[in-house]
Structure 1
Amino acid sequence: MMAAAVLALYAMVAVVALPRLLGRGEWADRAPRLAICVWLAGCASVAASAIFSALAVAIPGNVVGHGLAEFFQACADMLSDGASLAAPDARVALLGAGLVAARIAYCGAAILLRARRERRRHAEMLNLLGRHDGALDAVVLDHDEAAAYCLPGRDGRAVITTAALRSLAPEQVAAVLAHEQAHLRGRHHLVLAAAEAFCRAFPHLPLFARARSEIARLIELLADDVAARRHPRIHIAAALVRLATGRTPAFALGAGGETALTRVRRMLSPAAPLELRERVAGLAVVALLLIGPAAVAVIPGVSSFLAHHCHNISLF
């Protein structure tokens, strides 16, 4: 029961404390890819802690310690009607763990399916109204609002409007399309879907709401950095200024948006990247967040396993 209490307490504290801890300083802007991993690991850590806490209540550690066969038998007993091990609190805990996992899976699937339907409808519209430009490797859409975005998915494509082509210089067009290609190659829509699934599964909790907004912002910074590997930052910044007010579909990833002006300053005055020790520390935090809940959950079982086998050895 101690492991269950620790995991439950961590989950309750982390949903409030982690947003404050992870939001400190400007380290995330200097390493957006690492920051995205940390935010997702924090969300997964809290969800896993809630699930493992319930499982720790439902399945005693000594049952796990005596062998996997008895472990699975205990699970089967708890799900059967006449099991002697299936105490009411164990049944409730096991049901709670299943509900948490099912809620996350359901929200994730619903988000992906809805986005897929909307992207399919938009792709049909692009097939009718847009034209593919081989030189740009993008779909050109006749529209009087300057915008550039990408339509992710299996047949992902970058889209730019004729107004954007008129207002941007050729090198700026190349830079902004490199930004959109970075979204497509990185499958950033799946990262956003994961953050949205956590937020929708557990609404009004500070960690998941903050993680969704931060990941959406960091993904744009990451795409900017990828584009900056091949194009001058000044061209990316100039394109962002012109596309700042451009609107894009909700299910697409656009170069403009609310964060455009902040990203312009970042492009023009880039901060120094994280040092090696800082990156190692960040990776260690990711590993701790992901492995920690599982490690705490298995401690009682491992302790029981060692005690049981050490006792048997001592008998010989």
Structure 2
Amino acid sequence: MGALPGLVALGALLAVLGPRLLGRARWATREPVVALWAWQCVVVGVLLCCGCALVLTGAAAWPAVRDLVFTGAPAGVEAAYGFPLARPWAVAAAFLFLVGGVRTALALAYELAGARATRRHRQQQLSRQAPDLHPELRAAAAPGSGSDSGSEQLVVVESEEPKAWSLPGPTPRLVVTTGALRRLSNRELDALLAHERGHVRARHHWLLSAAEALLAGFPGVRLFAHFRDQVGRLVELAADDSAARRHGRLATAIALVELNPDTACPHPLAQIPARVDRLLGGAPRLRAPYRLALTTAALALALTPLALSFAPGLSALR
């Protein structure tokens, strides 16, 4: 059964080499969206390796699973996988992969439930600080019909601390404090809101929740630790670019500095000075063919486990 060793080897290779190659890639800061896609493809590739290995080991361990997997398959396909008669190793391997799958599902469910509860709590707090307007007043105060407006609701909270954040949900909210309004010009405020709107529209909160869940479920796996850290950094760069394209790099950089005056912030994901330098440096984007090649290569890498899994069966049909 050559597919199973290939899946295990490929999964280990992606888990070890993927973070090293992507972590050293200089193009990642120039193309954070492509880098996010590449990181997701590496993680999906590893998870697919484990999932396909679970199916194959389950088919090798239990005839009932094997009959279910190969139901309707042409003659010779099942034999091409060469399932052995001795099954103890297959049962042990299937149990190991099954435990990993259950643990992943539980971690994802726990993280999503926790994120939903956190958002609900923050929405309740926000409702107490800034109650919703009457529907007629809300319509009158809605954003204009410009290209940067959308379905997000803008909420202003009374606070001297200059802050802004997005609150995802059925009706996403962009929250800004009165302290931020006093510190920023109109153009800088527009850039700040575009940054938060970029987070909402790209569903960055889903990606962050998935990264946190994988790390919580498998704290000893370095791939998931690197994935969480890089996602936290790259989503900020992607949102910076989204704001800069609409309102300019200078306005976006000033908004970052005004809302983060303490440049010595120890949080590793903040990195405000580096983000400001990146915006003011204005490094050009990669050429479109290069971006397309990176995107296609990452997708091919993610789909390789499926190709390995189906290869023996497809070869039997020739």
TM band (smaller chain): 0.7 to 0.9
The offset of 1:120, in angstroms, is 0.9
Contact 1:47–1:100 (8 Å) recurs in 2: no
**Structure 2 residue corresponding to 1:240, chosen from 256, 274, 283:** 256
The offset of 1:175, in angstroms, is 1.0
Cα distance in 1 for partners of 2:70, 2:166 equals 51
- AA matched with 1:301: G
Going from structure 1 to structure 2, the CA distance change for 1:86 and 1:97 (only over 3 Å counts) comes to: farther
Does residue 162 of structure 2 align to residue 141 of structure 1? no
Question: 1:312 — aligned with what?
Answer: none
CA deviation string 1:156-214 (max 9, x = no partner) = 10111111112112221111011111111221101112222222222122211111111
Does residue 217 of structure 2 align to residue 201 of structure 1? yes
Question: 2:204 — aligned with what?
Answer: 188
CA deviation string 1:254-288 (max 9, x = no partner) = xx961222111111112111112311221222222
Local SS of the residue matching 1:273: coil
CA deviation string 1:105-129 (max 9, x = no partner) = 2211211111111111111111111
CA deviation string 1:274-309 (max 9, x = no partner) = 112311221222222221011111112222344xxx
Question: 2:26 — aligned with what?
Answer: 26
Cα distance in 2 for partners of 1:139, 1:216 equals 25
Cα distance in 1 for partners of 2:209, 2:216 equals 10
Moved more, 26-35 or 279-288: 279-288
Cα distance in 2 for partners of 1:225, 1:117 equals 30
Cα distance in 2 for partners of 1:245, 1:213 equals 23
Question: 2:170 — aligned with what?
Answer: 154
Compute the RMSD of aligned alpha carbons: 2.7
* % identical aligned pairs: 35
CA deviation string 1:67-121 (max 9, x = no partner) = 53369xxx9xxxxxxxx97933333333333332222222112111111111111
CA deviation string 1:8-48 (max 9, x = no partner) = 12222322211111112321111111111110110111121
Contact 2:218–2:224 (8 Å) recurs in 1: yes
Question: 2:315 — aligned with what?
Answer: 303
Unpaired stretches in structure 1, ≥5 consecutive residues: 76-83, 247-255, 307-316
- AA matched with 1:267: L
Question: 1:252 — aligned with what?
Answer: none
Cα distance in 1 for partners of 2:110, 2:310 equals 32
Question: 2:236 — aligned with what?
Answer: 220
Q: How does 1:1-316 map to 2 (within 5 A)?
A: 1-59=1-59, 68-69=71-72, 87-130=87-130, 134=141, 137-244=153-260, 258-306=270-318
Contact 1:146–1:243 (8 Å) recurs in 2: yes
Cα distance in 2 for partners of 1:101, 1:304 equals 29
Contact 2:57–2:91 (8 Å) recurs in 1: no
- AA matched with 1:88: P
Cα distance in 1 for partners of 2:86, 2:209 equals 37
- AA matched with 2:291: R
Contact 1:31–1:273 (8 Å) recurs in 2: yes
State the TM-score, normalized to the length of structure 2: 0.80
Cα distance in 2 for partners of 1:155, 1:98 equals 38
Local SS of the residue matching 2:160: coil
Local SS of the residue matching 1:30: coil
Cα distance in 1 for partners of 2:279, 2:254 equals 10
Going from structure 1 to structure 2, the CA distance change for 1:6 and 1:201 (only over 3 Å counts) comes to: same
Unpaired stretches in structure 2, ≥5 consecutive residues: 61-65, 79-83, 133-137, 144-152, 263-267
Cα distance in 1 for partners of 2:297, 2:216 equals 25
Contact 1:244–1:257 (8 Å) recurs in 2: no
- Count of aligned residue pairs for this structure pair: 283
